[in-house]
Amino acid sequence: MVIETKSLEKFRLKNEDGEVQTFDRGIAESKHFAGRFTQQSQHFSKQFFHVYACRLEELRGILVENARKKWGEDIKILRLAEVENFENERCIIIGTLFKHQLWKPSILRELSEDTQESGVIPEKHENYCSNKDVPFLEDEMLRIKIVGPKVEISDVVTGIVVALLGKKLEEGTFEVEDWCYPGCAPKAPPKGPISEGKILMVSGLDLAHNSDTLALGLLTEWITGMAGTLPAQEETSSIVNLLIAGNSVKATSSDGHTTTKGLMTNRAQESAETSEIASAVKKLDELLSEILEDCPVTLMPGQHDPTNLMLPQKPLNRFMLRNAHKYENFRGAHNPWLGSIGGRMIAGSSGQPVEDIMRVCGEENKRTPLEWLGKTLEWRHYCPTAPDTLPSYPYHEKDLFIMQECPDVYFVGNTDKFESKIFKGENGEEVRLVSVPKFSSTSTAVLLDLKTLEASPICFGNN
């Protein structure tokens, strides 16, 4: 669907000569590729094995080509079932990484007889890492343990499809000599001219708990041209789209076991949470309606917003945001989201894929969310840990989270701080990476120039 914003004349201040100054808001064409993450047939009876099989099948050919280019034509590329006959001989194997972690959530462990008899609920951990983690590579039939100085356990992420150069040892493990990833997806040249204008990116409004109404008010007034000097309003008028990257209603979960509490206590809590969400949704609708009078909005859901939990998350129901949906320049988007604004291909998520990768890799791995975001481009996958530790739809025909194109802008929402850099692929691809901070804790939004792809933080408070 294509949305074009209307030229507005809401910004009126007098210049030094006493003349009324008027700025027209820019116009930018907006396209949303919601169908990219949608599978026509829905079968929740399918096993998640099909997801990994589809992922490996599609990326295997790419990895064969990359491995040949990196390591030459002479080294054999073997299936895991064939490695048995090539002990201590250099070869290449292709498969999906799997990290066995005892601390990963397991519904089977929670429902086990030992847990039920003892009445002790397994402890929840901040991350899944322990000194007992074991890395494997698996294909459609077998699994083999990978070892060696080139295997850094904190860098192993379940779900990544890779090619490994090395040899099978006598004890049945595979010693890794080098790694090869699918690499960044091909980048198509722009189909038309890039529009003048800027995108404002915000995440984590958390209207259920955010008590800083001043920052929200300043944000709204700044976008709509009701605050600031003439230069500030001129910059504001260049904003062609407000992109909200999830957790607008809530940014935290009330998850927890309440079985030890009384029935009435639990019901009172549920009623209070329902009332809290309803109030926050109403605030969001009012906030969007005010902004939509002057600026187009793209709204993504987040992990704690009232929509489906499994990725891809669907837009918030139109009946929740009755007033916002009356505006033609409003678009409810999926999470992850892929679209085009002003001729720039933009992709990103509300934060769950990167957050889950950081749980899998633990505190010892010091990479920032922005660095992990760049890694997903190398892995050519939006959320590799799904469905192992990240809930996702059980695709069985095709893994729709495999990147088919290289975006111009790639963002992650709901991070602790703003970061940005240019990612450079092996074939010359350049992508602007953006880490969008939680507005509820930082009062910070991100302004992105479509022409130059420069990103800068805009702070509306003292956080």
CB 343 within 8 A of CB 192: yes
Q: What is the pLDDT of residue 22?
A: 63
Task: Report the SS3 class of residue 304.
Answer: coil
DSSP string, 391-425: -B---SS--TTB--S--SEEEEEEESS-EEEEEE-
Place of tokens 């003892």: 118
Quickly count: other Cβ atoms within 10 Å of residue 51's Cβ.
Answer: 23
User: What's the pTM value of the predicted model, to 2 decimals?
Assistant: 0.89
pLDDT tens for each residue of 389-430: 999 988 777 899 999 999 999 999 999 999 999 999 988 899
Q: What secondary structure letter does DSSP report for 92?
A: E
- Residues whose CB is less than 8 angstroms from the CB of residue 134 and which lie 6 or more positions away in sequence, other chains included: 99, 100, 145
Residue 310's contacts (CB-CB under 8 Å, 6 or more residues apart) are 391, 392, 393
Residue for token pair 């809530």: 250
Separation of alpha carbons 359 and 314, rounded Å? 24
Q: Beta strands 77-78 and 143-147: pairing type?
A: unpaired
- Interacting residues of 69 by C-beta distance below 8 A, sequence separation 6+: none
Q: What is the DSSP string of 112-148?
A: SHHHHHH-PPPPP-SS---TT-EEEEE-SS-EEEEES
Scanning the structure block, which residue is given the tokens 């100054």? 21
| The predicted structure's pLDDT at residue 213 | 83
What pLDDT is attached to residue 365? 86
Sites in the chain below the pLDDT cut of 50:
1-11, 13-14, 20, 116, 256-260
Cα separation of 347 and 335, whole Å?
A: 10
DSSP H or E stretch at residue 263: helix 263-292
Residue 353 preceded by cis peptide, ω within 30? no
Residue from 267, 120, 201 nearest 442 by CA? 201
